[in-house]
Structure 1
């Protein structure tokens, strides 16, 4: 039997029906109802996450080219410093990690953004010129290295847009286990590292988040 859902109540009903199944597959929305199964079985406590409070320097890295992220970029850049990454210049070495970190550190406290989020036509042109895998690998390395330099320089609130970009960033930062905090937007929670100098993260896939996600995420990371 294949079932579908048109409302959250449907997802809860699907999860309840699948409580005894060893394997469940489907869209990520099914997870909405799965937690209740584990609470009933005594496997998790079901406590609400505490408020994460990490105030200090912040930055936003956007490597997604999805429609939602491009809209978020356009909205954010109207009121905050933003640097568009020339991907061709990155590929030939004209733009480096130092260029990105210098811009972000120079605009501390102003919710600065650097992004490589181009239109579908722009993305196709760059991929055709340099190769799809090479472009992706180079940009992932650029964002990952930039994130590492930012954290070393004292940035402790970081928002990352793009699934592959987020993966590259968290691998580079190597922060260990992350505590899951409050939800920023559906499917995107606050994440908090341990240690004496915790780093608060918001990691989102391309099409996740409301239009004002970047500003909202930084506020949530600060506990506001």
Structure 2
């Protein structure tokens, strides 16, 4: 067995996003939750190890990422990919730069790129500035993110605060000329002593050209968009055949539920739309802090409603509400209370017979899959750009569970309502 691409994702929804892109491009891909101890499954072309390291202390994120890299190296992967969010979620001292530098050192390489662009979801880079739709990142809803507020849209500036060597830019005047020009720019930046290049991209065609220019880089860092251009590199070398059935999932059944922990603008809209058409239960962090039996109440409520169709359990709130809660409880405690409650509710829902579950939010998804004992994911058909259905590989041989792990920022307003139609 030859595994071509080994990927490390800094959260679970990001890992699913990347794995879905690879499957869509015809690579047989499996996502594993945390660094595994068992050998990889047979007959796969790519593997994504999903960590919960985005908001960990940098030293912990580095250690986890290096452990994942060692596993992928032992599996014989030919190229490596560090995947982070398309909104470059990270504090000035945060984890993207330190993890990337540690991976570069371990791989003995002196150059890589950083390109979180994902045009299909409105994430584009121009002159080194990251846009969300028509807004600069710093003017988008990400400026109010409760854990990683993004108040600077200059990726060169943000990354430079996190790394010890110069960060350069391959801007759009280069990218629009194609892969050969991009490769020349990489060589020029390396000659100038730059170890990182922020790369502009405003379309999928740009991402494909960038991917081609990265064919010989041992390490690539970015969002999931760069994955568009990587499978073709392996095909040019005769290492990969397209598998048009790569997204086929085993059949699942059971009841349906949505758990939403993200407070992003997109998830707020999705929650509002679903609340108009389905029963909903709100999880309040302040009630949790007071010792109210919120989990038991949510599960009692669910038993009364779930047989009639999908139900929604949500902690999603406005930025103003989140800030007020964090002021009273502290950022870390508020987040942990909600994550633990939603994870416990997910466990109860699955015991109740839920076999098809949507989870919104990276931190929430991480807590839920760990609580459910999911060790890996088979990647299936795309619901919206960056969000596929998956079927969990669960400990103990339990029944197959369909999971859609949605980044808080992704998906159309009716995502929670339409997703079920993509399951066979």
Same fold per superposition (TM over 0.5): yes
Q: How far has the Cα of 1:78 moved from its partner?
A: 0.5
CA deviation profile, 1:108-155 (whole Å, cap 9, x unmatched): 242110111111010000000011100111111111111112112221
Match of 1:156 in 2: 355
Indicate whether 1:198 and 2:400 are aligned: yes
TM-score normalised per structure 2 = 0.50
Q: Is the 8 A contact 1:87 1:126 kept in 2?
A: yes
Q: Is the 8 A contact 2:377 2:391 kept in 1?
A: yes
Q: For structure 1, list consecutive stretches of 5 or more residues without a partner in the other structure.
A: none
Distance 1:107 1:219 in 2: 21
Q: For structure 2, list consecutive stretches of 5 or more residues without a partner in the other structure.
A: 1-168, 171-198
Match of 1:58 in 2: 256
What SS does the corresponding residue of 1:24 show, helix, strand or coil? strand
Structure number with larger C-alpha Rg: 2
Distance 1:39 1:191 in 2: 25
Q: Is the 8 A contact 1:59 1:104 kept in 2?
A: no
One of 194, 201, 209 as aligned partner of 1:5 = 201
What SS does the corresponding residue of 2:316 show, helix, strand or coil? coil
Q: How far has the Cα of 1:41 moved from its partner?
A: 4.2
What SS does the corresponding residue of 2:278 show, helix, strand or coil? coil
Distance 1:114 1:100 in 2: 8
Which shifted more, 108-117 or 91-100? 91-100
What SS does the corresponding residue of 1:190 show, helix, strand or coil? strand
One of 367, 373, 385 as aligned partner of 1:186 = 385
Indicate whether 1:46 and 2:248 are aligned: no
Distance 2:219 2:305 in 1: 48
TM-score normalised per structure 1 = 0.92
Distance 2:361 2:398 in 1: 28
Q: Is the 8 A contact 1:66 1:206 kept in 2?
A: yes
What SS does the corresponding residue of 2:207 show, helix, strand or coil? helix
- RMSD over aligned Cα, in angstroms? 1.8
Q: Is the 8 A contact 2:207 2:226 kept in 1?
A: yes
Q: Is the 8 A contact 2:249 2:390 kept in 1?
A: no
CA deviation profile, 1:4-60 (whole Å, cap 9, x unmatched): 111111101110111111111233321222232234445554323115532320111
Alignment of 1:22-101 (within 5 A): 22-41=218-237, 43-48=239-244, 49-51=247-249, 53-101=251-299
Q: How far has the Cα of 1:178 moved from its partner?
A: 1.3
Q: Is the 8 A contact 2:283 2:294 kept in 1?
A: no
User: Could you list the runs of 4 or more consecutive aligned residues of structure 1 that deviate by over 6 angstroms after TM superposition?
Assistant: none
Q: Is the 8 A contact 1:62 1:115 kept in 2?
A: yes
What SS does the corresponding residue of 1:128 show, helix, strand or coil? helix
Which shifted more, 144-153 or 177-186? 144-153
Q: Is the 8 A contact 2:257 2:354 kept in 1?
A: yes
One of 304, 321, 325 as aligned partner of 1:106 = 304
Distance 2:283 2:340 in 1: 14
CA deviation profile, 1:43-96 (whole Å, cap 9, x unmatched): 554323115532320111000000000000001111111112222112212142
Aligned length: 222
Distance 1:147 1:44 in 2: 38
Kindly indicate which of the two structures has a greater share of residues assigned to strand: 2
Distance 1:198 1:32 in 2: 29
Change in 2 beyond 3 A, CA 1:134/1:210: same
One of 142, 164, 168 as aligned partner of 2:341 = 142
